[in-house]
Structure 1
Amino acid sequence: MPGTASLLSLNAAIDAMAPEFTALSDRIWDFAELKFDEDRSSDLLIQTLLQHGFSVRQDVAGMKTAFIGEFGSGKPVIAFLGEYDALAGMSQVAGVDAPQAVEAGGTGHGCGHNLLGSGSLLAAVSLARYLQANGLSGTVRYYGCPGEEGGSGKTFMVRAGAFADVDAALTWHPAPFNGVRSTNNLAVIETFYRFKGVAAHAANSAHLGRSALDAVELMNVGVNFLREHMPQDCRVHYAITDAGGRAANVVQAQAEVLYLIRAPEMAQALALGERVEKVARGAAMMTETEVEAVFDTASTNLLPNLTLENAIHDNLVALGPIPFDENDIDFARRIQATFSEEAIKSSIRLYQIKEDVFSNRKIDGSTPLHLGLRAFEGQSHFRAGSTDVGDVSRVTPTAQCWAPAWAIGTNPHTWQVVAQGRSPGAHKAMIHAAKALAATGLDLLTSSELLAQAKIEWSEKMDGEPYMCPIPESVQPAANG
């Protein structure tokens, strides 16, 4: 493992580059581009890679905003995963403690991917510089991964073989806490159900019409009855994406609903998806309409790697607390005041924030920012969300940490996330995460034993099962437009 002098050198390089990368994060926050349309964000990240001596391969897996930056040569190959897509309807002014859109109906970084992508890049660049300065062999890669929000960009990259020679992958995510939490995320499948009926005058000749909207509503009722008869840890969500128009006096000739089906294992998600499709076809039969199931995207459940997670945790312990100041705490307190007491307690429960490594005290939310480090139990927990990081974890050992860019109580995909996305406290969390990832990457580059242990654990958990990409070859990435 690297010594104290090595880590001090690595951290000093990160601190020196911090202004450049916080500015990078803020510019991506400004762009707030949606999945697969992150043109300015990806270009900015690519230019930064080139300026720091990386070679860059673009248009990876047929996605115009997917790219891979590479520095060094030979084994091992250590990957850092970056994201930079935003969310629709999340426009919000930064640095305020009330909902206030920059642009009505506009986009916003409601999951902190501006911080995620820039922080991972900072880790990759600092580690590359360290390798060059110390004459070490190995390859550092930065994966520019578009469309995490409903696009499964990494899944397409995995399908294209972009991670085939990677020895280990590291990433992080903004959160209300600092530390490592090993999670078993859910596999997810997204499918559109498009119903086609017959239009008619709703008063004079309704008997001649066949309502596609009726079919959508009946499908939703049927799936709601199905919930009692599916495995407990599964989730089913839907949104009506086309109600057939705004005229109430017309029998709707078309309608569409999007379903997200989540399950602990992909095989369970596929099986549940078949049952949902039967409900859709039943709704079509009842209304004498036609239905087409159109696959959108999917992601596999995450495969935790405790070996890598322990390594990240050890580096977080060595780093010590994040240097938040009173201004950071004050802003977090104002944000936290917008949450209910239950939301704050729920946040602590969700992230399993029980004890602090540095103070050995229980975290109760009385301090609005997580000032310490979450104790790592060395075991995995259930988490109901989904991520395309899961597909990467199925082809190479993968781990991630979390950093407290948000006040305790903050939920992803909310205006509060966007409001905190450019704050000095969020920048400090991002820099802290970059240090932890870079140090862990250096561990992997210099300790063949650590890497071997991570690979053995990965192999044992895969148990000889080949990775089966959940996205058919015929399906291509679909942008928001």
Structure 2
Amino acid sequence: MTQQAIDQLANEIEALKPEFIELSDRIWELAELKFEEFESAKLQTALLEKYGFSVTRGVAGIETAFCGEYSIGGPVIAILGEFDALAGMNQVAGIAEEKSDNPGASGHGCGHNLLGAGSLLAAVGLARHLEKNGIAATVRYYGCPAEEGGGAKTIMVEAGVFNDVDLALTWHPAPFNGVRSTNNLAVIEYDIRFKGVAAHASNAAHLGRSALDALELTNIGINFLREHMPSDCRIHYAITETGGVAANVVQARAAGRYMIRAPEIVGARALAERVKKIAEGAAMMTETSVELELGKATNSLLPNLTLETAMHEQMTALGPVPFDEADEAFARDIQATFSQEAIDSSIRLYQVREDAFSNSRVDGSQPLHRGLRVFEGKSHFRAGSTDVGDVSWVIPTAQCWTPAWAIGTNPHTWQVVAQGKSPTAHKAFVHAAKAIAATGLKAATDPELIEQARAEWKEKTGKR
């Protein structure tokens, strides 16, 4: 693929961006939670239909999941978008201080307003370019809700909606620009609920059976388990119900949500069984009853170095994100809210050591990443989880990052929400759209790339 073709595609996407910036900002304002992204989905399906895509709603039985297709024959290229927010992360946009105008409300603490808008822009831009240049390929935009705690892609995979797809492409906002091949963690999420017997905590405590005691014993047991599980596994929890705030009542109800992570889904299942036994033991000790409800289960990511290399090559050809002094000034204000430890941790998390454009060391002294991460051609471990992993096990999948946030920003923080409507974030998602679309164009014009990506996927999965 020539530099001229990449430049032409990038210019076409640049011309489309105003409408998608408006989309991203509106999704940021809606901040709809998992499986409740009704308005965010409507906005996206309306744009898909405006640009000639045929739209299927309610994909895999999920009301807020949808698929838009623009078919010119040829290979099927899937582009994945997300658009769900996080609970309790409301934050005023465009300021470098923690401030909520609606305390307790939801907010886009992982930048999924940008993710969805950028992926949708990539799909529209690529489809229009293919049509204009007479290139045979089918572009599908998958509107994937509930990445945060819902695992909608897992449900979509099980429903077979990716079965005829040749490859999948996506991205995520980050403090850095580039491709990183990752092996992250599979995750199983359980809601554990205890039911006991209420009683007066002073004069009739012997008649009570404390669900709160059972929950606390579960957490103590899990703390002991952490010493005896593999070091690359994780267990996190949140107490979701305490049975009330009255200290003079034996609490009859208590519940917690537990996320159990391991490098492979089989390891997560084995660890989940141990957690289940701890909860059952806690119920036995307290003479309460326990119920475990599976919330979600997502697989680990299966890297595809063939596709990732192709995506890195397109990002190299695109050059840096065109930030200006105003972008740097706001990023510097945001960065001032971080400790040096947080900045160093961000660089380690994303494993950005050297810049591919300048060959210089990345040390966090700059507020924004104006370069490109070096792609090592090998995979790295990352202790996070995403339902993109389930897609990667059924079709070759690649993803990139672009620098929507100041260096030092970590996901699921107020700083992410504050930067979610900034010109910096807008430029980053447009750049991601160009990278995804260029990679899709490369696949559409180079059948060998798809064959090689498929061969690598088959070798890693053992599929024929």
TM-score, L = length of structure 2: 0.99
Find the aligned partners of 2:55 and 2:377 in 1 and give their Cα distance.
36
Find the aligned partners of 2:135 and 2:176 in 1 and give their Cα distance.
34
Offset at 1:91? 0.7
* Number of positions where the alignment pairs a residue of Structure 1 with one of Structure 2: 464
Does residue 394 of the first structure (1) align with residue 393 of the second (2)? Answer: yes
Give 3-state SS (helix, strand or coil) of 1:173's partner.
strand
Does residue 15 of the first structure (1) align with residue 18 of the second (2)? Answer: no
Letter in 2 for 1:143: Y
Does the CA-based 8 Å contact 2:7-2:318 persist in structure 1?
no
Q: Tell me the equivalent position of 2:417.
A: 418
Does the CA-based 8 Å contact 2:194-2:289 persist in structure 1?
yes
Q: Tell me the equivalent position of 2:323.
A: 324
Q: Tell me the equivalent position of 2:204.
A: 205
Find the aligned partners of 1:359 and 1:12 in 2 and give their Cα distance.
25
Offset at 1:150? 0.4
Letter in 2 for 1:173: H
Give 3-state SS (helix, strand or coil) of 2:104's partner.
coil
Offset at 1:102? 2.3
Unaligned runs of 5+ in 2: none
Letter in 2 for 1:109: H
Q: Tell me the equivalent position of 2:222.
A: 223
Q: Tell me the equivalent position of 1:82.
A: 81
Letter in 1 for 2:14: D
Find the aligned partners of 1:41 and 1:324 in 2 and give their Cα distance.
28
Find the aligned partners of 2:351 and 2:255 in 1 and give their Cα distance.
38
Q: Tell me the equivalent position of 1:353.
A: 352
Letter in 1 for 2:133: N
Q: Tell me the equivalent position of 2:60.
A: 61
Deviates more, 1:281-290 or 1:71-80: 71-80
Offset at 1:286? 0.7
Q: Tell me the equivalent position of 1:473.
A: none
Letter in 1 for 2:42: D
Q: Tell me the equivalent position of 1:468.
A: none
Offset at 1:23? 1.1
Find the aligned partners of 2:62 and 2:156 in 1 and give their Cα distance.
9
1:293-372 matches, cutoff 5 A: 293-372=292-371
Runs of 4+ in 1 over 6 A off after TM superposition: none
1:203-282 matches, cutoff 5 A: 203-282=202-281
Find the aligned partners of 1:219 and 1:369 in 2 and give their Cα distance.
43
Deviations 1:282-340 (A, max 9, x none): 11111111111111111100000000100010011101111100000010000000000
Offset at 1:224? 0.3
Offset at 1:131? 1.3
Does the CA-based 8 Å contact 2:72-2:131 persist in structure 1?
no
Percent of aligned positions that are identical: 67
Does residue 50 of the first structure (1) align with residue 49 of the second (2)? Answer: yes
Find the aligned partners of 1:93 and 1:281 in 2 and give their Cα distance.
43
Deviations 1:391-446 (A, max 9, x none): 00010000000000000000001110001011111111111111110000001111
Does residue 375 of the first structure (1) align with residue 374 of the second (2)? Answer: yes
Deviations 1:227-264 (A, max 9, x none): 01001100001111111111111111111111100000
1:139-178 matches, cutoff 5 A: 139-178=138-177
Letter in 2 for 1:49: L
Letter in 2 for 1:97: A
Letter in 1 for 2:326: N
1:81-120 matches, cutoff 5 A: 81-120=80-119
Q: Tell me the equivalent position of 2:434.
A: 435
Find the aligned partners of 1:464 and 1:63 in 2 and give their Cα distance.
28
Find the aligned partners of 1:252 and 1:96 in 2 and give their Cα distance.
42
Find the aligned partners of 2:327 and 2:7 in 1 and give their Cα distance.
25
Find the aligned partners of 1:9 and 1:360 in 2 and give their Cα distance.
28
Letter in 1 for 2:323: F
Unaligned runs of 5+ in 1: 466-481
Give 3-state SS (helix, strand or coil) of 1:84's partner.
coil
Find the aligned partners of 2:414 and 2:279 in 1 and give their Cα distance.
34
Give 3-state SS (helix, strand or coil) of 1:192's partner.
strand
Q: Tell me the equivalent position of 1:129.
A: 128
Find the aligned partners of 1:263 and 1:322 in 2 and give their Cα distance.
35
Q: Tell me the equivalent position of 2:180.
A: 181
Q: Tell me the equivalent position of 1:462.
A: 461
Letter in 2 for 1:91: N
Letter in 1 for 2:449: L
Letter in 2 for 1:210: R
Find the aligned partners of 1:216 and 1:391 in 2 and give their Cα distance.
31
Find the aligned partners of 1:36 and 1:20 in 2 and give their Cα distance.
25
Letter in 1 for 2:327: D
Offset at 1:464? 3.3
Does residue 31 of the first structure (1) align with residue 30 of the second (2)? Answer: yes
Give 3-state SS (helix, strand or coil) of 1:328's partner.
helix
Offset at 1:73? 3.9
Does the CA-based 8 Å contact 2:3-2:317 persist in structure 1?
no
Find the aligned partners of 1:356 and 1:464 in 2 and give their Cα distance.
36
